[in-house]
Amino acid sequence: MSGISLPATDFTVSELMAATVARALRDDEMGFVGVGSGGRAFTLTFGIPVVAARLAQHAQAPNFSLQLGSMVSPDLSAIPSAASEASILNIRYDLYWPAAGRIQALDNMDLFTAGRGVDVGFVSAAQIDAYGNTNITCIGSHDRPRVRLVGCLAQPELMAFTRRAIVMLDLSPRVFVERVDFVTSAGYLTGGDARKRAGIPGGGPELVVTDKAVFDFEPEVKRMRLRSVHPGVTVEEVLAHMGFRPAVPDPVPETPPPSPEQVRLIREVIDPRRILLGG
Amino acid sequence: MRSKRMSLREAASLIPSGSSITLSGAILPRQPMAFVHELVRRGVRDLTVKLFVGSVGVDLLIGAGGVRRVETAYVGLGPFGLAPNFRRSAEAGRLEVEDMSESALMARFRASGYGVPYLPTKALLGTSMAEHTPNAAAAVCPFTGEQVHEVRAAHSDFTIVHGHWADEYGNVQHPVRRNTDECDQMLAKAASRLIVTVEKIVPPRVVRDNSTLTWIPHHWVEAVVEVPYGAHPGSCDGLYSEDEAHLRLYALHGKTEEGFRAYLDTYVTGVKDHWEYLERIGGIRRLCQLRM
């Protein structure tokens, strides 16, 4: 495709998701991306926020910084050519990606818990509920889970101690449930001012960016609200892919597509080998 | 200083069944794999394993039937998927799991290293973590009235750390260019007894001439063991990368109990020692491919 002028209608859903996340980032902010999983989860938790951060740096937020695990402000124009998704997550990338610093895990967590490190937490999950609580720990009961997942990592910190969190997920009734089986990370708990009453310091989830639609949360009730549907997707289709009914405004706006320039940047400059956003 | 050098067999024999142990590493880097293999060969049982973030080390120990309880922020194979034995045992109700977030778990390990029975954290507020462990209790700060949880010190009988190199006295060093996304030094202080395996035991002068690289000093250490490629199939940052092919093979065999039994027979219980293991996984040719 290189060298051919791309129409604005030619974009993948992951490119649309990255462009949507990019618009939500502000200049001088620090975002945090965890590391660890593979496949589509890699694209959702790692690839989309990294591409979004680079798009934001090219547009409204030239001084937006990312922290990838303990790596502070890696040079997003110099993603190492170590090639595979597996190696980008592991030791070769960790040691050879140029960055401003590599801090100790303890210092990293202290910056979260003291509320002086991170503006935007990027998360994904196995389940999210109507009030933005997320689960990456287990499906079913904790003592005898139907599916035992990985644990908690630092996702509770990403949701509790940042100014705001942005969640990336594919829409599915198994993922979007009325109540998560295990609250790994607190969203708005049972809604209203429950989060504040629980004493959780950070702001909570702001946006949920999916493959079909974008959601935010009602200002008072804090229940998930449909914010826009992607081009070509109907509201009915969105609701059919959810296990609960979100608040639905009338009319529902359409998610703005990425610009041709954003698509070009992603394909030719940021992710030419399609490691970050997948095939 | 006196020599604390031991063989892998001698060091592993320090750990009786029923012990609590803490394992080093940050997902794939610096898992003390050779030591774990030796524990499995010895048939150690009924362990409580405490980890920061773990992968193939704790999973293998679980699959060999050696673990009763795990306390952790993560057990998985990173980009290679879920940890198969951890998953199977937890789903069957055979394994107790305490889930805590990274900063809360650090508070638990820090309390142990600091010598206090607990520390407060705000990381559990509003979550399910405290509901499923006796090691966390909701509390109110006596000074500010803020809501917190008190989390209990994560003390273990033993910590086992895999490091880069040490002298025979147990002064452990790491390279300048290394993975920092770990808390092995904190884990080293969290147990009563510390066993260190290293890639190489170097002459004391190497340590003395570069003393700022010492990360675990000798007076914390009970035993130091030389085990080249002792973190395989995980990585040892700066020296060798993770063995992707072997980790995929591990994940594949781990899908069933029979498959995993065959894996253990081939690579762990069916080999005499670590040297034979290194031959079995492809010998010097394979190891050279993994060197960084």
User: Over pLDDT 90: what percentage of chain A?
Assistant: 77
More confident residue, B148 or A86: B148
* Segments in chain B below pLDDT 50: none
3-state SS, residue A155: helix
Q: What is the pLDDT of residues B212-258, one digit of tens each?
A: 999 999 999 999 999 999 999 999 988 999 999 999 999 999 999 99
Q: Place A24 in a pLDDT band, splitting at 50, 70 and 90.
A: very high
Instruction: Report the SS3 class of residue A252.
Output: coil
* Residue A273 CB coordination number (10 Å): 9
User: B8-99+155-290 domain in CATH 3.40.1080.10?
Assistant: yes
Question: What's the angle, vertex CA B171, arms to CA B165 and CA B172, rounded to 5?
Answer: 35
Helices (H), chain A: 13-23, 40-42, 48-58, 85-89, 91-96, 105-113, 155-160, 194-197, 235-240, 260-264
> Could you say which residues from 192 to 231 on chain B have a Cβ atom under 8 Å away from some Cβ of chain A?
none
Q: Which of A40-44, A175-179, B53-57 shows the lowest mean pLDDT across its residues? A: A40-44
| Average pLDDT taken over every residue of chain A | 91
Contacts of B100 in chain A (CB under 8 A): 152
Q: Do A105 and B28 touch (CB under 8 A)?
A: no
Distances (CA, A) of A253 to A155, A230, A244: 30, 9, 20
Per residue in A234-278, pLDDT (tens digit) is 999 999 999 999 999 999 999 999 999 999 999 999 998 888 898
The enclosing H or E element of B21 equals strand B20-23
| pLDDT for the residue numbered B65 | 98
Partner-chain contact B181 A105, CB within 8 Å: yes
- In 3D space, the residue among A214, A239, A204 whose CA is nearest the CA of residue A19 turns out to be A214
Contacting residues of B for A112, CB less than 8 Å apart: 103
What does the pLDDT read at residue A3?
A: 40
Domain residue spans of chain A: 13-270
Residues in A 68-127 with any Cβ partner in B closer than 8 A: 69-71, 84-87, 89-92, 94-95, 102-106, 108-110, 112-113
What tokens does B92 get? 């069957």
Q: What is the pLDDT of residue A215?
A: 98
CA atoms within 13 Å, Cβ hemisphere of A84: 10
C-alpha distance from residue B289 to each of B15, B241, B249, B279, B286 (Å): 34, 9, 17, 14, 5
Dig out the tokens for A93 from the structure.
């990338």
Q: Among A101-105, A228-232, B41-45, B99-103, which is the least confidently predicted range? A: A101-105
ipTM confidence:
0.96
The string of pLDDT tens digits covering residues B204-213 is 999 999 999 9
Residue A109, C-beta contacts closer than 8 angstroms, at least 6 positions apart = A154, A157, B102, B103, B106
| Res A200: pLDDT | 98
Between CA B292 and CA B282 the distance in angstroms is 17
What the block records as the tokens of A204 is 């909570």
Fold of A13-270: Glutaconate Coenzyme A-transferase (3.40.1080)
CB contact under 8 A, A152 and B91: no
| Distances B127 to A168, A213, B90 between C-alpha atoms, Å | 20, 27, 20
pTM for the model stands at: 0.95
pLDDT digits (tens, 9 = 90+) for A162-173: 999 999 999 999
C-alpha distance from residue A222 to each of A183, A184, A218, A269, B99 (Å): 16, 18, 5, 38, 27
Which of A75 and A19 is assigned the larger pLDDT?
A19
